[in-house]
A and B are shown apart, each in its own frame.
Chain A
């Protein structure tokens, strides 16, 4: 981490600049530096074991007409793989009790099951598609999935102010071919390594979406979570806000809470 604490005013872009700015560094490339920042970002958000929260998903079209969905989410941290998560729908009323279980993976298709209470059956959904929209929102599955360092390759761009803070700006290139993105640009603050903003570029490298993280709170003295996540699609004018409430950590959830049977009980 010593490298990252060097004065960065000179380190604007690229290899040559970082060489100048860090004379003791063993020629750290922009790629290595980007990765090391994101490793620290991941490291600081490790060890929370399990997590639960309620969420309001507010969908807006270009005319600002809204639709609100209420959802509860539970997540179980996994080592060396994507996390497991369970999503339970409370609103609108006609989908109440519908539950979605997902085991996200770094290098292959996620495992997904859906429980439809009106049908009384659990269905496994087999799909290669991670780039599709999550519940009709402007978030895609890949946006909602947990961050895993090997999902991307990186390039450090520079530092710049973000709000009252200073942020590392790092480009992320998805490894997965089925990704909907050519690249993402992440702004991670230098104080606490919290994601402050993400820009998403589509496959033709046009700016597609921007995600802003608003109002971070710290939980159990360690983990930071934003109260609101605001995703704006620049191409179709639509936006989605995720408003989180009631974060709870380390309440002893285990694998049994994340299997097919748990889906039916989820309501």
Chain B
């Protein structure tokens, strides 16, 4: 079958190309259907319990997203007429932001106070430019002393202010809704910044985060993909010294990428931060197939074989190994479907598709192009494998020290795997170059951040929140929560009721306490409800029939583990102090806090299944159960050691890293396949002893292995430059793992083989060998001249 295909490809290269291009273009047109989902919720599957809890809470209370203008005057004084005027302007203009339902700032804050029997409700700052010093400091005092404002809309020292725009996205067209908001708030920012150059105005909030997911990915793809192409072009042209070969490789890579993205578009995929890195990863992985075909072909040509025949030989030699390596890589990526986070299913499926497409193109379009393009090779005998020969000599001579030494080093590093702590901080998903990250860090440092936990307490009966006993529990919890070291801010209905009680008693501070009967509490709330401004109601704190209330707790920056610990402590408080009420905790923060752990647990299954499947494939490929088992070690060790190194250096792992083990498994296995198959080939077909077989393996595939490793490491290091941390860490970790895999294959696997194989079996191997052509099993990159 493959012979007929190859003959067709080589005899009718033009037709092959035309058919191929037609299919590629048809598929690629689907890419226009690909849309970017800019919503942090995409990271959670519909079954995710934390997402369900959060959505259930959002159904009861107002559901909303936001944009926050963070305003930092250079002179660190918010309460000056000019700066307040700027804030008032932003506040007013923000009503024009699409989907805005409410704008809150220190200027339009509804300040209620008593004057004899009058309750006065007014804007805290009405006409800033008319205010004198006394009025300014009065306003400042009120703002910084109000628990509803302090650390939310104004910093404790009144040197930074926030204008918060509440948004209600219809969710009908997520592709356009978020960018529309982003462009409007940026326009407001530019306008105000121009009039007030002494203000530093930054943008944070959920909508800006969502928009950053898109922008960071687009930015990545416009910088990383070209960079990666450059790496590929340089590597191939320097290592293989061919311009046409490089050109053909680039065409194959591009075809693989556009076809994959096109098919993804046709089949209804959408893009997210992680899955948007698919092009970079496909790019990296697709190169290997072409390198193998080119090296074999050039080897043949250097030895005087004609181009056409050299291409055919190379295809024959390489078809099976590159199919195997592509398939194992695809299996590794497909295992990502076990992930708890849907974007990684998409990434896995897209890369798996891309890798298999790259394989198909490499054995069809690629040879067709090579046939048509002029390819010249200098005829020369090369001494290039000298380095590999000396390396193999080194390994063979030092095998007795290498094996225990390597074992000790590998185990010692692996001990540090448990030092990794789970941490998924969605703000830190973006690196410091991203504006959203800077703004949010700044806001977190000066007011309070985006780390929140929402607590819903259910009294169990209609109007039950007005019950003094219930209110006392809410108050006790709020006070307890405020006394916790990690708490920045607590937003509780009891603050409002206490304030109203004071207002209704001529602002006497002694009355800043909860009322002692239900009617009074209810009537205060009715009064409060009637004094609320446009766009505000109590529904963000109370449910419709006033049977439950929501407290919003803003926390300082913490790792996921610490957040989970806080969550446990909060639940324990309710179990101990208020077992009669039902308390529920939910928030995006908690969703992210749990996702890393959930994902690791689900990915362990995925990785195990991938490991079994890949080992089976290897067992078949090597036609040996024993070597299938031996291969487990070099396949599993790299990821283990890499996580050990990570534990030793970084120590924090999140969503992006929890998938690395399975995705690298499919990649590192390629090295093992090539090395072991060469080794076995020498043992079985040539009757070599273990030392000679090791030497043979080194000299025949050593160079190809390190070239492909070089390309892969470069590729994933390029991905490591991503501004999007999930992708950056995934890239860095994958690069480390692949590098370790090569070290293991060069320095650990050979001594191991020499030890195990020597003791236990006869050199010819136990399985029966079909006489196969010398180049049959593995790809023959640099066949030794012998």
Residues of A within 8 A of B (CB): 59-63, 65-67, 89, 92-95, 98, 100, 114, 116-119, 121-129, 131-136, 140, 180, 202-204, 206, 235-236, 238
Contacts and interface: CB of A to CB of B under 8 A. Distances in A.
A67 B122 contact: no
B59 A123 contact: no
B526 A129 contact: no
Contact of B122 (A65, A127, A236): A127
Nearest to B466: A94
A263 to B, nearest CB: 12
A119 B545 contact: no
Contacts of B469: none
A129 B110 contact: yes
15 contacts: A61-B543, A62-B59, A89-B526, A92-B522, A92-B546, A95-B519, A95-B522, A114-B530, A125-B120, A126-B118, A132-B530, A133-B529, A136-B529, A136-B532, A203-B96
Nearest to A94: B522
Interface in B608-656: none
B533 A131 contact: yes
B168 A129 contact: no
A118 B504 contact: no
B467 to A, nearest CB: 9
A114 B534 CA distance: 20
Contacts of A118: 515, 517, 519-520, 522-523
A121 B120 contact: no
Interface in B68-109: 95-101
Given A65-B544, A117-B519, A123 B463 contact: no
Contact of A93 (B117, B463, B538, B544): B463
Contacts of B156: none
Given A119-B504, A124-B119, A204-B100, A114 B527 contact: yes
Interface in B303-317: none
Contact of A126 (B119, B170, B522): B119
Interface residues of B, number: 51
B534 A129 contact: yes
Nearest to A98: B523
Given A93-B463, A118-B520, A124-B119, A129 B531 contact: yes
Interface of B: 59-60, 62-63, 95-101, 110, 117-123, 168, 170, 462-463, 466, 504, 515, 517-524, 526-527, 529-539, 543-546
B112 to A, nearest CB: 9
Given A129-B533, A132-B533, 9 more contacts: A67-B546, A94-B518, A94-B523, A116-B504, A116-B524, A125-B530, A132-B536, A206-B99, A236-B168
Given A117-B523, A118-B520, A236-B168, A67 B545 contact: yes
Contacts of B100: 204
A205 to B, nearest CB: 9
Contacts of A59: 544
Contact of B529 (A119, A121, A135): A135
B527 A116 contact: yes
B526 A125 contact: no
Contact of A127 (B63, B121, B518, B536): B121
A135 B545 contact: no
A165 B312 CA distance: 83
A80 B517 CA distance: 43
A136 B537 contact: yes
A206 B535 CA distance: 14
A27 to B, nearest CB: 35
Contacts of B121: 125-127, 129
Nearest to B543: A65
Contact of A135 (B170, B515, B526): B526
B120 A133 contact: no
Contact of A123 (B95, B98, B504, B536): B504
Contact of A235 (B95, B168, B530, B546): B168
B97 A121 contact: no
A95 to B, nearest CB: 5
A140 B533 CA distance: 9
A225 to B, nearest CB: 24
Nearest to A64: B544
A51 to B, nearest CB: 22
A171 B44 CA distance: 45
A65 B543 CA distance: 9
A140 to B, nearest CB: 7
Contacts of A121: 117, 504
A126 B523 contact: no
A53 B120 CA distance: 30
Contacts of B123: 128
A124 B112 CA distance: 12
B95 A203 contact: yes
B544 A95 contact: no
A95 B523 contact: yes
Contacts of A125: 118-121, 527, 530-531
A65 B62 CA distance: 13
A56 to B, nearest CB: 15
Contacts of B62: 236
Nearest to A123: B119
A209 to B, nearest CB: 12
Contacts of B466: 94
A127 B504 contact: no
Contacts of A132: 530-534, 536
Given A93-B463, A135-B526, A116 B520 contact: yes
B537 A133 contact: yes
Contacts of B60: 61, 63, 65
A94 B52 CA distance: 34
B544 A127 contact: no
Contact of B519 (A94, A131, A204): A94
Contacts of B533: 129, 131-132
Nearest to B542: A136
A103 to B, nearest CB: 15
Contacts of A236: 62, 101, 168
A66 B98 CA distance: 29
A181 to B, nearest CB: 9
B545 to A, nearest CB: 4
Contacts of B534: 129, 131-133, 140, 180
A182 to B, nearest CB: 10
A235 B537 contact: no
A180 B522 CA distance: 27
Contacts of B536: 132-133
A94 B59 contact: no
Contacts of B537: 133, 136
Contacts of B99: 206, 235
A116 B515 CA distance: 13
Nearest to B532: A132
Given A117-B523, A129-B533, A129-B534, A123 B117 contact: yes
A117 B526 CA distance: 12
Contacts of B170: 235
Nearest to B515: A118
Contacts of B521: 94
A129 B126 CA distance: 13
Contacts of A60: 544
B544 A204 contact: no
Between B60, B95, B101, B522, the greatest number of chain A beta carbons within 10 A of the residue's beta carbon is seen for B522
Contact of A204 (B59, B63, B95, B518): B95
Between A66, A236, A238, the greatest number of chain B beta carbons within 10 A of the residue's beta carbon is seen for A236
Given A100-B530, A131-B533, A136 B101 contact: no
Contacts of A122: 117
Nearest to B167: A235
A92 B521 CA distance: 13
Contacts of A206: 98-99
Contacts of B462: 67, 92
B499 to A, nearest CB: 14
A132 B535 CA distance: 7
B117 A204 contact: no
Contact of B526 (A62, A98, A126, A133): A98
